[in-house]
Amino acid sequence: MKHVLLGMIALMATAGTVRAQQPADSLRYEIVNNMPLFYQQMKEQLTYPMAWGNAPETDFGQWRTKARETVTECLRNLPPAPQDYAVQTVATEQREGYEVRKITFNISAWSRVPAYLLVPDGAEGKRLPAVVMLHDHGAHFTIGKEKMVRPFGVSKEVLADADDWAVRCYDGQYTADYFAANGFVVLCVDALFWGERGCKEGFDYDRQQAVASNFLQMGSSWGACINMDDVRSAELLASLPYVDPDRIGCLGFSMGAYRSWILAALTDVVKASASVCWMNTTEHLMTLTNNQNKGGSAYSMLIPGLRRYLDYPHVASIACPKPTLFFNGRKDKLFPVAGVEDAYRTMHRVWESQGVPERLVTKLWDGPHFFSRDMQRETLEFFKKWL
């Protein structure tokens, strides 16, 4: 009996020793920096079976059709297209070489939205090139379209807000005004949650997650709704009598860049696109230190389920063989350079495979997350060449 008791005591002591040797932290958490500890294994499961070169289709046209169908299938339960855009001009302001029009139009069967339409002088009776200008996120929601167009007929607070944002992100130049002064018709619309399409209760960064959650609860997604609104915006431009439907482009910075390349992938109404400071790969974005893993802003750029089929550069490649431009800053803290270069290589292989390598322009600038005047000038020259 004595030997049995001593054995039990020894066993309990050993068990206690084993428990003490276990890392204490492993008993307290399985999430770090908002990521599951097994996030690397999750990424390893992403094989992107619909990517060009991975998919069974060897005919590029067939692949392009099926890849676009895959993306579209992930854009679920969205507002239907409007039966009539019913464009109404509510105010105008003449500027040097162009007119800025405040308009309203039906962006879907369920939503009527305000927008800015910039029309070069003498447009009537002509067919001009046009660009959909897609504003950034910036965790700044009080203005949307006003980030691209200098507003008029607004409060001094809104004007000051817009002027400040133009300096912070666009080198003191309103990109839409710059393009309109150089002969392009330009359309700028608030994305849902920004500016005049914001929250009745006020602008709050954390409210994004509630909005996104509610979309998901109803079988849709907030990001997909934004993407489809952009498609309708391009279609509206194509319907205008003074716009050449064969010369429509799209351009954006930051979140606007993401919206731009995915818009070019979703619709052939867009003939050329430019995206400044938003391209990377899931491998380099889904890390413990990247801004993407914080949620919030990321929800506006998510299409549920899509990563099971295609990564970001694969989706952008659906636009091939369209002329397409990508810029990024080497000092951009949001988009790791290694991921930018990886994505660029992936896309170049696609354009090269179709014999049009000159139609894909990629460049890394020695700067931060910023759309400088020099970048705007080169982007304008790109659109002048192709549109």
Q: Which CATH number do you get for residue 53? A: 3.40.50.1820
The SS3 of residue 324 is strand
CB-based contact 282:46 (threshold 8 Å): yes
Cα within 13 Å of Cα(2), Cβ side: 0
Q: Is residue 36 part of a domain?
A: no
Interval 271-299: pLDDT, tens: 999 999 999 999 999 999 888 877 778 88
pLDDT of 248 above 90: yes
CB-based contact 273:319 (threshold 8 Å): yes
Higher pLDDT among residues 197 and 18, named by residue: 197
Compute CA 231 distance to the chain's CA centroid, rounded to the nearest angstrom. Answer: 13
Global confidence as pTM: 0.91
Alpha helices for the chain (secondary structure H): 2-21, 39-44, 60-74, 156-170, 175-181, 207-217, 222-239, 255-266, 282-285, 312-316, 337-353, 373-386
Q: Which domain holds residue 364?
A: 47-386
Question: First CA to last CA across the chain, in angstroms?
Answer: 95
Structure tokens that stand for 255 in this block: 């979140």
Q: Provide the percentage of residues in the chain whose pLDDT is more than 70.
A: 93
Amino acid at 278: W
Judged by average pLDDT, the poorest of 169-178, 181-190, 205-214 is 205-214
Please state whether beta strands 98-106 and 88-95 pair in parallel, antiparallel, or not at all (unpaired).
antiparallel
pLDDT of 25 above 60: no
Q: Is residue 6 part of a domain?
A: no
Q: How many domains are there within the chain?
A: 1
pLDDT of residue 223: 96
pLDDT of residue 297: 84
CB-based contact 75:227 (threshold 8 Å): yes
Residue 277: phi and psi, rounded to 5, are: 70, 50
Q: Is residue 65 part of a domain?
A: yes
Q: Is residue 181 part of a domain?
A: yes
pLDDT of 15 above 50: no
Mean pLDDT for the chain overall? 92
Q: Is residue 9 part of a domain?
A: no
pLDDT of residue 231: 98
Mean pLDDT of 220-247: 97
Q: Is residue 32 part of a domain?
A: no
Give dist(CA 31, CA 291) in Å, integer.
Answer: 16
pLDDT of residue 10: 41
Structure tokens that stand for 278 in this block: 């938003």
pLDDT of 224 above 70: yes
- Name the pLDDT band for 153 (thresholds 50, 70, 90): very high
Q: Is residue 25 part of a domain?
A: no
pLDDT of residue 290: 85
CB-based contact 154:196 (threshold 8 Å): no
Q: Is residue 225 part of a domain?
A: yes
Adjacent-strand bridge partners of 105: 113
